[in-house]
């Protein structure tokens, strides 16, 4: 082999390795809610006082483990799991795959379900997510607060929690690559994000749901996460252009009146409040304060 060919071969190899490394997820963030977990169909299922709560927190943990296994198979070296439901103390620490680190309880940070995310992560995964309030044939659909909010939108786009959380990830330039939950949330995120891998673990039927066996969901989540992370370059952070206009429709006039007391917020209807800001995270802070 001539010197010129040798140099060319080395350069090509260098480029190939650089591109391969650039597409390998090194650090992955997993946010886990509970309403979209396999088999969950009733509010009692996701409350600590519920008869079957311990069963469903176990399934929640195993769906998370499936995502971790898929992430590791795709090359992830560091994985953070954010327990994002209720008390944020649902996932069983001793049953969680030991290759991941777990964030439990709420720190009080405005990121909430995305607490811990920053620019050092390569990808975000949502497990157990649900559709926004008022979605037909959706399991336990709500938007951030089932007792307070009817709808919430940013820049005219009505968002589920997955949308708000994707914006927070996008603030740190991190893309959401995978979502698991009921069929309704899978359809909603496909309408929001340019590219997204999803796994539906159940399909709403009014107040009921047609559910896959948990073991089937585990396999699908593992395969879906691995597939998404191996195609990392196809995903882009979810972003909107500033200024950010937050419109929230509450479930009562009292709630709307209370929210309108925040400096800069204004009533826009009997139950509606609007707030504008040039900084996304300031808008997120105000939204969290409102509910």
- Residue pair 27/175 in contact (Cβ under 8 Å)? The answer is no
Q: Which residue has the higher pLDDT, 11 or 245?
A: 245
Give the pLDDT of residue 20: 46
Mean pLDDT of 63-80: 98
Mean pLDDT of 55-69: 98
Q: Which of 142, 166, 124, 160 is nearest to 280 (CA)?
A: 166
CATH superfamily of 241-291: Dipeptide transport protein (3.30.1360.130)
| Angle, in degrees to the nearest 10, between helices 53-73 and 214-229 | 30
Which residues are CB-contacts of 286 (< 8 A; sequence separation ≥ 6)?
246, 262, 264, 265, 275, 277
Give the pLDDT of residue 123: 98
Q: Residue 2 above 80 pLDDT?
A: no
Q: Residue 16 above 90 pLDDT?
A: no
- Residue pair 123/172 in contact (Cβ under 8 Å)? The answer is no
Q: Residue 233 above 70 pLDDT?
A: yes
> CA–CA separation, 205 vs 22, rounded Å?
42
Q: Residue 4 above 80 pLDDT?
A: no
Q: List the single range of 8-17, 28-37, 77-86, 265-274 with lowest mean pLDDT.
A: 8-17
Query: What CATH number labels 25-239?
Result: 3.40.50.10780
Catalytic residues: 142
Long-range (24+ apart) CB contacts under 8 A made by 94-100 are 95/58, 95/61, 95/62, 95/65, 96/61, 96/64, 96/65, 96/68, 97/64, 97/65, 97/68, 97/69, 99/68, 99/72, 100/30, 100/64, 100/68
Domains 25-239 and 241-291 share a fold: no
150 phi/psi in degrees, rounded to 5:
-95, -35
* pLDDT, averaged across the chain: 94
Mean pLDDT of 151-166: 98
What percent of the chain shows pLDDT beyond 90?
91
Give the pLDDT of residue 14: 45
Beta bridge partners of 200: 181
Give the pLDDT of residue 21: 47
Mean pLDDT of 97-119: 98
Q: Per-domain residue ranges for the chain? A: 25-239, 241-291
SS (H, E, C) 34-70: CCCCCCCCCHHHHCCCCCCHHHHHHHHHHHHHHHHHH
Give the DSSP letter of residue 241: P
């Amino acid at each position: 082999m001539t010197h010129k060919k040798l140099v060319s071969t080395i350069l090509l190899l260098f480029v190939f390795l650089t591109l391969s490394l650039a597409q390998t997820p090194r650090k992955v963030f997993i946010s886990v809610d509970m309403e979209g977990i396999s088999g969950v169909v009733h509010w009692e299922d996701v409350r600590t006082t519920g008869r079957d709560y311990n069963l469903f927190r176990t399934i929640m943990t195993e769906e998370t483990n499936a995502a971790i296994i898929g992430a590791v198979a795709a090359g992830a070296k560091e994985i953070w799991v954010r327990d994002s439901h209720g008390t944020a103390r649902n996932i069983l620490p001793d049953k969680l795959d030991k290759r991941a680190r777990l964030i439990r309880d709420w720190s009080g940070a405005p990121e909430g379900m995305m607490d811990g995310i920053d620019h050092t992560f390569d990808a975000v995964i949502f497990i157990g997510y649900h559709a926004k309030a008022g979605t037909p044939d959706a399991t336990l659909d709500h938007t951030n607060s089932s007792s307070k909010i009817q709808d919430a939108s940013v820049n005219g786009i009505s968002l589920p929690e997955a949308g708000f959380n994707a914006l927070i990830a996008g603030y740190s330039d991190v893309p959401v690559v995978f979502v698991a939950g009921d069929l309704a949330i899978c359809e909603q995120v496909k309408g929001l994000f340019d590219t997204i891998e999803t796994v539906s673990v159940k399909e709403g039927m009014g107040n009921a749901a047609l559910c896959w066996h948990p073991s089937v969901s585990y396999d699908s989540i593992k395969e879906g996460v691995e597939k998404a992370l191996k195609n990392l370059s196809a995903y882009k952070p979810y972003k909107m252009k500033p200024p950010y206009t937050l419109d929230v429709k509450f479930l009562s006039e009292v709630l709307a009146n209370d929210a309108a007391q925040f400096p800069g917020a204004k009533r826009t209807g009997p139950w509606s409040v609007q707030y504008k800001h040039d900084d996304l995270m300031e808008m997120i802070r105000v939204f969290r304060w409102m509910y």
